[in-house]
Amino acid sequence: GRSSVRLLLGLLLLRFNWCSAASGGGAEELAGTFPVVVSTWPFREAVRAAWEVISAADGGGSAVDAVVAGCSACEVLRCDGTVGPGGSPDENGETTLDALIMNGATMEIGAVAAMRYVKDGIKAAKLVMEHSKHTLLVGDKATSFAISMGLPGPSNLSSPESIEKWENWRQNHCQPNFWKNVAPASSCGPYHPINSVSAESEDDVKDVVHDSQGGVCQEWFQNDNLLEPMNSHLKVVNRHNHD
Amino acid sequence: TISMTVIDKMGHIAVGTSTNGATFKIPGRVGDGPIPGSSSYADDEVGACGATGDGDVMMRFLPCYQVVESMRRGMEPLDAARDAISRIARKYPDFVGAVFAINRKGVHAGACHGWTFQYSVRNSSMHDVEVITVYP
């Protein structure tokens, strides 16, 4: 009976498809362990760079400076291809950067989004925080702001690797992608909303397949005598492709 | 994406995130990286959080804001991290993402969904960076 309970407990834990871990040690033991640096992923060099700033013998830099040092290290090293220039090309083959910094003492925040032509994402975010009353600048205007505040640029953020990745994706008919409810479903754009497409063209026929419970399990398009699945639910997030 | 938290010797906290986003995104797309409370959040009085994963989903839930506010209300970092992830997973069972949480005492924890997650830590009792794996 006891083993059955354990088995049931194990199955219940498996049912919840999440996972967790906690550090050892109590609060009293940890109270004397400051400073602390924590980072997503095994980006050791980034943590070491932040640690050097925050633990310096002369009293150390600020927490904000340490975060900038750590994230900048990752931008230079292009950690996993998910940070900094030279990775994650968009549909046009261009790399853009998103970054944010927050001071937990003052609740000040600076951020840049979809920033083009500037390699220093976290430094640009810090400049927004320190030299503007805004929180978030985007696109070309973020680029202009960063360069006007002294960051180097404009620079090409692509790399041979990102261009090759993008060319392979084009050859694979731009699959996978992030579009949904558009035509064409499985080739490169330009894309059109399906409603307007069906109204405009009798060649595109949408067919919806239902499962046994009556739910929609997959949508198909008939175009040029080909049945093509929509890929809106394709898994594209993984260790080397994520935010 | 890197999301980083630093607590200095005085207990002051800063967080930051840097990313080049999703591969083959539609031009103009912005993920959760620059969204306060989504990829990272901090409050000296409470602690901090960093996140990684599917930004298109995560930014709809502001998981790091949720983590910090849960800790403010008394949750331990592990419970706060689990709670933030489970709130997303309830609505998006196929969601892929993870968070780490750290309170102002330096206690840290991680939680994830859809993949194995790792986060890195260095404090004054360590000789070098330690990597913690959060298993499914």
Dmax over CA atoms of chain B, in Å, equals 45
Whether residue B96 contacts residue A234, with contact meaning beta carbons closer than 8 Å, is answered with: no
Residues of B in contact with A101 (CB under 8 A): 14-17
- What residues form DSSP beta bridges with A103? A108, B14
Q: How far apart (Å, rounded) are the C-alpha atoms in residues A123 and A150?
A: 10
Three-class DSSP category at A223: strand
Rounded CA-CA distance A198/A188 in Å is 18
Cβ within 8 Å, pair B40-A102: yes
Q: What is the mean pLDDT of chain A?
A: 81
pLDDT bucket at A236, cuts 50 / 70 / 90 = confident
Angstrom distance (rounded) from CA A187 to CA A196:
18
B57 SS3 class: helix
Distance, CA of B49 to CA of B75 (rounded, Å): 13
Which DSSP symbol is given to B26?
P
Length of chain B: 136
* Tens digit of each residue's pLDDT (9 = 90 or more) over A33-67: 899 999 999 999 999 999 999 999 888 899 999 99
Please give the residue of chain B at the shortest CA–CA distance from A88.
Answer: B23
Highest mean pLDDT among A7-21, A26-40, A212-226, B43-57: B43-57
Q: DSSP readout, A43-92?
A: -HHHHHHHHHHHT-TTS---HHHHHHHHHHHHHHHTGGGTSSTTS---TT
Per DSSP, the three-state class of A143 is helix
How far does B66 lie from chain A, in Å, by closest CA?
Answer: 15
Q: What span, in angstroms and rounded, lies between the C-alpha atoms of A126 and A123?
A: 5
Per the DSSP assignment, residues forming a β-bridge with B108 are B102
Please state, in angstroms and rounded to a whole number, the distance separating the CA atoms of residues B120 and B136: 17
For A176, name the nearest residue in chain B, comparing CA atoms only: B24
CB contact (8 A) between residue B86 and residue A70? no
Residue range A138-161: mean pLDDT, rounded: 98
Question: For chain A, where are the alpha helices, taking DSSP H only?
Answer: 2-15, 27-30, 44-54, 63-77, 121-131, 139-148, 160-171, 194-200
Complex ipTM above 0.90?
yes
Q: Do B89 and A136 touch (CB under 8 A)?
A: no
Q: Is B74 on the interface with A (CB under 8 A)?
A: no
Separation of alpha carbons A225 and A205, rounded Å? 10
Q: What is the pLDDT of residues A73-98, one digit of tens each?
A: 999 999 999 999 999 999 999 999 99
Quote the Cα angle for B97-B102-B107, to 5°.
125
Query: Which three-class secondary structure state does DSSP give residue B92?
Result: coil
Q: Which residue has the higher pLDDT, A6 or A37?
A: A37
Distance CA A152, CA A100 (A): 19
Q: How is residue A231 written in tokens?
A: 């890929």
Q: Which residue matches tokens 């990597």?
A: B131
E-assigned strand segments in B1-136: 2-7, 13-19, 40-43, 47-53, 97-103, 108-113, 117-123, 130-134
Q: What is the mean pLDDT of residues A158-171?
A: 98
**Is residue B87's pLDDT more than 80?**
yes
pLDDT bucket at A130, cuts 50 / 70 / 90: very high
State the alpha helices, DSSP H only, in chain B: 55-58, 63-72, 77-91
B5 given a catalytic annotation: no
Average pLDDT over residues A146-161: 98
Residue A88 and residue B22: Cβ atoms within 8 Å? yes
